[in-house]
Amino acid sequence: MTIKEQQDAIIEEFSFFTEWAEKYEYIIQLGKDLPLIDDIYKKDENLIKGCQSKVWLHADYKDGKIYFTADSDALITKGLVSMVVRVLSGQSPENIAGAEIYFIDAIGLKSHLSMTRSNGLLSMLKQMKMYGLAFQVKEK
């Protein structure tokens, strides 16, 4: 699926919930379903700076695509990272670096996150886009 298709799928999934309590439960469930990151990648150099919770992000580059794995020590944050991993993992560096991420606003998440969580989510996206840029340079 493309980045746009992944985002549209998330927006559709969230449209089934009317209450924010239900949406938070779903975000937590998404975090629980996130494939585990290998413990060897749970090191300081893979921590996202600017997150209130600990968030580890690792990128593998294979066959012209970047595959992300991640984890967090907080349930909500783990759910948030699972959504951005779902949207951007398996995409080309160019598509990741240039991606317009709109699902966060579309599901109303931005207005329901604390400032620190919102900043952390932006830090995750920024780091993933930086990987996109770095692997673009590596390809040339």
Active site residues: 51
Q: Which of 86, 77, 89, 119 is nearest to 8 (CA)?
A: 86
Integer Cα distance of 59 and 127 in angstroms: 10
Q: Which of 79, 90, 73, 76 is nearest to 128 (CA)?
A: 90
Q: 58 - beta bridge partners?
A: 69
